[in-house]
Structure 1
Amino acid sequence: MKQLLKLCQQEEKKLGQLGLQRNNAQTRINDIEQQKQLLSQMVSDYTQFSVKGGTAMMLQNSAQMIQVIEPMQKQLLRKQLLLQQEHQRMDNLWRRQLGRQQGIHWLYQERKQQLQYQQDRQEQKQLDDLAGRYATT
């Protein structure tokens, strides 16, 4: 019974750790999404600046900035895709661990209930035996 309780506690700990990893992956995905949005806004701003016109040097600077930002956007997109795959993997592990943890917890509760039932029966039998002895004397 103690071993089952210890196993139950270990499984809960694993579940908590996987939950943290899953949440961390989601946070990193959200951070990258914000970075992508900022870069997209920068490209939009530089594009609008080019459309409004300006000196040749300003147009050239805008075009260069857009060229610098585009690889950064692609890199963030690749990183985001990899993190999404990692998050999905962690989510699957977490779900499996949740099922395992719940199953072991159920088994622990079931065994605990059976043990209590046996103890209650044994106690009742002892009381019945004592009552029978006093009734016959």
Structure 2
Amino acid sequence: MRGLKKQRRIQIIMAATAALALSAGLIGYAMRDGINFFRPPSEVVENPPPPTEVFRIGGLVEEGTLVRGEGETISFRVTDGGASIPVTYTGILPDLFGEGEGMVGTGRLIDGTFEATEILARHDETYMPAEVIEALEAQGVYRDPSAPGT
């Protein structure tokens, strides 16, 4: 009788482990296209991702690089103070997008140019995404506007 209980307990633990592994695998499979890693321009220059990888890049729109092409195509350079990456985007830009402003773009790096499928900009005069602030602070470029003495 005692051996039967022990065997049943082992079977239940194995079934629970298999169910947990299966559900973790299904969650990972479902999220494979929904996870976009953030990379600052310096990291992209040091270790370029493959052209098939979709990721986010963020920093400041470099002054004097914003060029509007024909139609809705636009090109500019994004920088974190340490490196600069050319960006192209076709679509309508957010209202507060401009030179010297923070931005985050989603897309792929193809032949050294980041081809964005989505561009996000700040939503008011003081907001900047946390990832962009961290990348700019690491380069020594960012200063908190709310800090005393700035």
Larger radius of gyration: 1
Give yes or no for TM over 0.5.
Answer: no
TM-score by length of 1: 0.31
TM-score by length of 2: 0.29
Q: Whose strand proportion is higher, 1 or 2?
A: 2
Q: Which has the higher contact order (CA 8 A, sep 6+)?
A: 1
Q: Whose helix proportion is higher, 1 or 2?
A: 1
